[in-house]
Structure formats: C-alpha cells, structure tokens
Amino acid sequence: MSEQSPSAAHDFIGKEYAAGFVTDIEQETIPPGLDEAVITEISKRKNEPAWLLDWRLQAYRRWLDMPEPTWARVEYEPIDYQAISYFAAPTGDKPKSLDEVDPELLRTYEKLGIPLHEQELLAGVERDPDAPRVAVDAVFDSVSVATTFQEELREHGVIFCSFSEAVENHPDLVQMYLGSVVPQSDNFFAALNSAVFSDGSFVYIPKGVRCPMELSTYFRINAQNTGQFERTLIVADEGSYVSYLEGCTAPMRDENQLHAAVVELVALEDASIKYSTVQNWYPGDEEGKGGIYNFVTKRGVCRGARSHISWTQVETGSAITWKYPSVILRGDNSVGEFYSVAITNNHQQADTGSKMTHIGRNTSSTIISKGISAGGSSNAYRGRVRMNPGAKQARNFTQCDSLLIGGKCAAHTFPTIESQRSDAIVEHEATTSKVSEDQLFLCRQRGIDAEKAVAMIVNGFCKEVLRELPMEFAVEASKLLEVSLEGAVG
C-alpha cells in the first residue's frame, strides 16, 4: 500500500473535491427513523452496559423537548430527523489486527492519504526517519475500523482506542467523564448526539506522560442517507501532554448529510491538550446542491491549575459549518486558545467561533479567527468571552480578520464580551480586507497565475493560524485552501 501514499495528498489538488468517491462495501444499517427502539438497537449492537443505554435514552427524551437552534447566520431546509439512518457499519466484527481489515477499506484510506500502516504517516510530506509519528483511529461511518500503534502507546500507559472499545475496556473512565464537559442537554445537536452517537475516539494520557506521538482520528462518511454522530473524549491527567489531530471527508452526494459530533476535552492540573482539526467534509457543488451539515459541539475544560487547551481548526469543507470550540477555564492560571481558519466558497455557509469562559484566577485566553469568503458564500465569526466574578485578573485577546474574494460574498462578526470583573483585560481587534484587483495584477504580471496568487495571499492571511498546526497537517491545510478556492477568481 506504500506506493501511493507519498503522492496521495497531491490528489487533493484535483479540479474538484478529490475525496468525493464512494467505497463499495457491504454494510449493515439500521433503517431510517428515530425512536427509543432505534436507540436501544444501537446500544444493543454495540453490546453496551445498561447505564449507557439509560444515558442515551435520557438524552433522547430531553432532545424531544428541545427546539432546533435558529440563531446562527445559516439557512437550510428543515431536516427530517426521521429520514436519517442512525447507524451504518461495514458488516462483520471489528478486525483484531490491521491484516484483517477489509482491503477495500484500506484502499479507501490509502486514496485519502491516510496510512493505516504503522510505518507510515499522513501523506503529503517527505519523511525523514526522525520525524514525529502519528497513530490513526479510522472511523468509517458509524464505527472505528482500525487503530494503529495501540500496542506501543499502551507501553506508555496511553489509552487510544475507539469509543466503543473504551466503553468495553475502560468503563469507569468513560462513565466518569462522558458528558462532564458537554452535558446531554447542552444544545439540540449535542442532545441528539448523546442519544445516537455510534463511535469515535477515546484518549487517556496518564499522569506525567508526554504522549510519544501525535494521535489522530480520521472520520469518513460513506453510506447514503446516514448521519454521522461521533463522540470524542480526551482526558489528560495531571502533568501530561497530548497533540491530537482530526480529519474528515465524505463522498459527493446530491442530498445533504448530517454530521453532529461532540468532542469533550478534560485537562487536569498542569496538563496540556492541543487539538487540531482539518475539516474537509464535502461542501456541495457549485450550485449549492448537496454537502455536509456540520453541526458540532466541541468544548474543553481546563479543570486543573496551569492546564492548557488549544484548539486549532482549518474549516474548508461542509455546506454548513456550525461550531464553536470552547474552553472553560476553571483552574487558576489556566490557558485557553482558539486558532481558526474558516474558508467558504460558492454557496457554503459558516458560522463559527469560540467561547472562552473564565472562572479561575489569572486565566488567559486567545482567539485568532481568520474568515475567508469567496463566491456567493457567507462566513460569520461568533464569539463569547465571559469573565466570571472569581476570575481575578483574567485576560483575553481576540483578533478577527475577514478576507473577501470577489463581490458577492459576505463576512459578519458577532463578538460578545461579558465581564463581571473590573480588573479583567479584554482586547478585541477586527479587520476586513479584500483581495484586490491590483494585488492580483501585480502577481500575474510577475508570472504567477491568478489561482496561485490567491492561494498565496490567503496563506499569508492565515499564517498565524497555520503555524499552530503540526507540520503534516499544515501542508495538507495549505493545499486544501488552494483547492477550496478553485474558481474563486475569474
């Protein structure tokens, strides 16, 4: 499988969405529709303990009473939740080793540039043997199909496995932390996820351990009429460190597909979690047909003193993106960061940003948001910084920059600051700029074609965020930016 991998990321630079193929594989699905019987069936297929089924059902009942949020600056036809299938999985048991994984699935990940092979890494960059390695958990529709490097990680006491395996093998940890950051009834989509989530990744880093490699999960939606509801839980125990990467793609389909994930991060005293996302769900076609609805709740809690949570996201895909990776800064001197690039083209809509809630003393947070709009797209930053009464000398710095390409797109900024401390320092900077005809003319007169020029200008605009990404992802992200802007300039 190695022959393709080095060039696989180059496949992203096709003239269209290169990850848009469908894998032909035998699947078992639960028919569309949602009620308590379906939830019970999901739980049963996953051999879950009773407490988890109860937890799901409780979430479902709460969800029934919740209205779908309408405050975001996005527009879409009402979603028929009864028309969605809530479970799709390749048939058969989960393979025990990589050798047993269906070759069709291996080919799928190979095509996407995701090596499910322990000698290899995310494609796209030439490797030197000393370069950091990446362990991958591959989630295909509703289930995890493979997780690499598990054994080596186990030697360090690191648990990295699918959520289902965690429920089976580490039920205490799961029960202790599940829903502790994003409660069941947090919001409409989080409640739905809590009821029907199928798989995802689980990470536990023990006290004082610096995770010896990057961990990553690669989400792939393949089945038709299926929603993806994954759940990720990362717990960093005292004094530990982990860098986690998340990537995602889906086939090109004419209908919209729902993706409603929940990610919970817990950082205990002196622990540090770095969470990076390159989101490349299918964005729909040029007319705005099809694409993923990406309604995701991501939140971390800095529970212990001096803990640190950093979110970095590059959002290039999805028809609609609705997500606000947030940090609750409970521990004294804890640090929260959010670095974001959200790019929209054609008819894409993004409403994204962050919430920083300062509870502990001397807590500090940074928000750097770069929105790029092209075509007829709409891109909104929405943020909330809150300084609670106990957050003595809390500080926040927020910078929101918007870049417009062409004259039909829109950028909006909705920052909210709620401070109950007179000694809080809250800074907010915002800019809006345009890729001008003069800039393009200068580049083109120097022999640089228009699309390359736009990519260069956009990369420059996003530099502060891109440099926060691990190297493998930064390369992929730069290329994705270029692909996303295909056709953005006439």
Partner 1 sequence: MKLLELRGLVASVDEKQILNGIDLTVNAGEVHAIMGPNGSGKSTLSNVLAGRDGYSVTQGEIELMGAPVNGMSVEERALTGLFLGFQHPIEIPGVTNMEFLKVAIDSHRISIGEEEMNTRDFMVQVRDISKRLELSTEFLKRFVNVGFSGGEKKRNEILQLMLLRPRLAFLDETDSGLDVDALQVVAKGINEFRSDDNGVVLVTHYQRLLNYVNVDFVHIMVNGAIVKSGDAQLAHEVEAQGYAGLGEA
- Can residue 445 be called a binding residue for partner 1 (CB under 8 A)? yes
Taking CB under 8 A as the criterion, the residue among 156, 428, 459, 487 binding partner 1 is 459
Query: By CB under 8 A, which span of 111-119, 192-200, 443-451, 468-476 interacts with partner 1?
Result: 443-451
Question: Smallest gap, in angstroms, from Cβ of residue 4 to partner 1?
Answer: 23
Question: Smallest gap, in angstroms, from Cβ of residue 200 to partner 1?
Answer: 35
Residue list 11-70, contact with partner 1 (CB under 8 A): none
- Can residue 128 be called a binding residue for partner 1 (CB under 8 A)? no
Q: Which residues contact 295 (CB under 8 A, 6 or more apart)?
A: 189, 258, 259, 260, 320, 322, 323
Taking CB under 8 A as the criterion, the residue among 53, 98, 456, 489 binding partner 1 is 456
Tell me the site size for partner 1, rule CB under 8 A: 23
Question: Smallest gap, in angstroms, from Cβ of residue 310 to partner 1?
Answer: 22
- Can residue 446 be called a binding residue for partner 1 (CB under 8 A)? yes
Question: Smallest gap, in angstroms, from Cβ of residue 473 to partner 1?
Answer: 19
Nearer CB in complex with partner 1: 47/445: 445
- Can residue 77 be called a binding residue for partner 1 (CB under 8 A)? no
Query: By CB under 8 A, which span of 22-30, 279-287, 379-387, 451-459 interacts with partner 1?
Result: 451-459
- Can residue 461 be called a binding residue for partner 1 (CB under 8 A)? yes
Taking CB under 8 A as the criterion, the residue among 333, 439, 475, 489 binding partner 1 is 439
Nearer CB in complex with partner 1: 216/402: 402
Query: By CB under 8 A, which span of 108-116, 209-217, 244-252, 449-457 interacts with partner 1?
Result: 449-457
- Can residue 449 be called a binding residue for partner 1 (CB under 8 A)? yes
Nearer CB in complex with partner 1: 154/444: 444
Query: By CB under 8 A, which span of 44-52, 310-318, 323-331, 435-443 interacts with partner 1?
Result: 435-443
Taking CB under 8 A as the criterion, the residue among 31, 37, 460, 467 binding partner 1 is 460
- Can residue 434 be called a binding residue for partner 1 (CB under 8 A)? no
- Can residue 429 be called a binding residue for partner 1 (CB under 8 A)? no
Question: Smallest gap, in angstroms, from Cβ of residue 341 to partner 1?
Answer: 12
- For 261-299, letters b (16+ CB in 10 Å) and e give bbbbbbbbbbbbbbbbbbbbbbbbbeebebbbbbbbbbb
Q: Which residues bind partner 1 (CB under 8 A)?
A: 433, 436-439, 441-450, 452, 456-457, 459-463
